[in-house]
Copies of this chain bind each other. A is one copy, B any other.
């Protein structure tokens, strides 16, 4: 039981679903409900909670109020033409007043009802579970009398199962062998006890190793595990193969890391915290667009991070994480063209931005207040996080630009976010840019400039469009490629760092960085990618974090960035109009001999093959442009094109 320590919102306990119909003939509907309900036909309350109901022919309205404290109120209705789907409206709050004659007036806040794949009476939303593949075995190693280490071969997630247990077992889990064997310091453990049980199933854990000590007289048979995962469509998924087996291994391990952390939501890590973190999540979304294209999980995570109004703290209490959240919505729109979701989120965007603006300092800049967490990154060098950080202002500028862009998409004219973003852009440049050092300084602290130069604000200046062509080259030279600037030691920020390299056309160098950094983790025995990796550390140093010997997560979503980098900057596929209505393919081999892979899209996938002689592209839809050097070649839908080099 390790709940997050910030505000969590509960579901709306009573909601009302409604729909109007115009039926040619009467229709018998089946009603199933998670919760108690009442049913009104044309405003007249019906008796009880009927399992079936006859809706008469003609124009009629159904209203069902559903109450459920324990799980979200949910309704399933099935008739010949009537089905619960997102054409139904739902409100959690009517504002009604009743006149002397008992007639109700007024209106509520109506939104389309949430609807997913719960399309039968047997699949109520509250019973939703991820998929399981059952009974995976482990290798066993006897450590002492009644003490055995089980190795499931690689990082995994699921339910440990003990067969025919009679007695008591002490179970120590480890993402590493060292952790499982360290009974004092391992991060997760269990005690399973049973007079005699056929199957005893532990609560879900992340582990590769399990060390089991049996109390005297205890007997048991097999030790197995049920692997739990979010299902995906392999046919529609992203893929990558190339002439370099190490790189193939890295891509596969990154994909596996993503699959392990893609669950009900995009989690940060699977051992701990199993929470949604906005900064981690925005990377998961981007990787996901190049791997499984699971748009439902993106939407769920964005909604979940935001919660209900009122806003009383930054998302995850972290100021930077609030800013990323805004950008994630426009990213989602770019990849999916799903304007409905932007519309759904807009009121929440407005109130969150009001919260942000209410906390700006006198210069109109975002400065951490005493109860804000300023994260940026985990760093191994001294870096102040209080004061007015340039990094935070760049993220805020992007958040304001996102507000402006989404307002425009929704046809909202009165928004002045464009102006605010522009003002902030100018202010950042004037305040933090050093014409001497060709870099953005770190922060203003107590009225003075802290002239420390780190990669953080400088790379976001490139990525978020603050640094134009020439300035970008200057930053690359003076900061990003400058060995005297402190290196980044988390895959989290390496994601952004390597993206700037790719934007600068340094794909060959990035391939080598990927081989060194992610290959370095594989060399250390990683079977999924880590929360943090410092090549200068050795042995069990790699396992420690937060002052705990096994505090580090060895399966962390932000470790999987090669998925994104390879899809976007080697296969070279990216949308230029929402939902890939138009897109670019700008393939880059770097030092590879050949590569081929798929990028998923709303309409299917885009397949790219390239070797030293030719490029071929096939797309299931959209209007593509293949860029080869100076040449731009049109890619028609559903027709392979081959271009000699």
Contact = CB atoms under 8 A, between A and B. Distances in A.
A189 interface: yes
Task: Select the residue from A47, A49, A104, A371 with max chain B CB neighbours within 10 A.
Answer: A371
Interface stretch (A7-15, A402-410, A625-633): A7-15
Given A6-B93, A547-B101, A106 B371 contact: yes
A430 interface: no
Nearest to A4: B14
A100 B378 contact: yes
Contacts of A371: 95, 106-107
A69 interface: yes
A314 to B, nearest CB: 9
A12 B6 CA distance: 11
A92 interface: yes
Contact of A37 (B1, B45, B98, B101): B1
Contacts of A4: 14
A356 interface: no
B7 A10 contact: no
A182 to B, nearest CB: 14
Given A3-B14, A8-B13, A101-B546, A95 B38 contact: no
B38 A102 contact: no
Interface stretch (A296-304, A305-313, A478-486): A305-313
A326 interface: no
Given A100-B378, A318-B97, A69 B10 contact: yes
B38 A2 contact: yes
Contact of A95 (B6, B12, B47): B6
Nearest to A5: B94
A3 to B, nearest CB: 5
A11 B7 CA distance: 12
Interface string A11-27: 11110100000000000
Nearest to A47: B189
A67 interface: yes
Contacts of A14: 3-4, 8
A14 B189 CA distance: 23
A602 interface: no
A67 B100 CA distance: 44
A152 interface: no
B317 A95 contact: yes
Nearest to A94: B5
Given A95-B317, A97-B317, A106-B373, A191 B48 contact: yes
B6 A94 contact: yes
A70 B38 CA distance: 21
Contacts of A374: 97
A506 interface: no
A107 B317 CA distance: 11
Given A37-B1, A102-B547, A97 B373 contact: yes
Contacts of A218: none
Contacts of A10: 10-13, 69
Contacts of A37: 1
Interface residues of A, number: 62
Interface in A63-100: 65, 67, 69-71, 92-98, 100
Contacts of A71: 69
A572 interface: no
Task: Select the residue from A7, A13, A375 with max chain B CB neighbours within 10 A.
Answer: A7
A42 to B, nearest CB: 15
A372 interface: yes
Task: Select the residue from A1, A3, A16 with max chain B CB neighbours within 10 A.
Answer: A1
Contacts of A96: 5-6, 317, 373
Interface string A162-188: 000000000000000000000000000
A194 interface: no
A372 B97 contact: yes
Interface string A513-551: 000000000000000000000000000000001111001
Given A38-B2, A310-B310, A100 B7 contact: no
A445 to B, nearest CB: 17
Interface in A593-615: none
Given A48-B191, A69-B71, A92 B547 contact: no
A95 B548 contact: no
Contacts of A93: 6-7, 312-313
A65 B547 CA distance: 22
A508 interface: no
A353 B374 CA distance: 34
Contacts of A69: 10, 70-71
A115 interface: no
A379 interface: yes
Q: Which 10 A-B pairs have the closest CB atoms?
A: A102-B546, A97-B373, A70-B70, A10-B10, A7-B93, A95-B371, A5-B94, A310-B310, A1-B38, A3-B14
Interface of A: 1-8, 10-14, 16, 36-38, 45, 47-49, 65, 67, 69-71, 92-98, 100-104, 106-108, 189, 191, 309-310, 312-313, 317-318, 370-375, 378-379, 545-548, 551
13 contacts: A1-B37, A1-B38, A2-B38, A3-B14, A5-B104, A6-B96, A10-B11, A10-B13, A93-B312, A95-B313, A97-B374, A98-B546, A106-B371
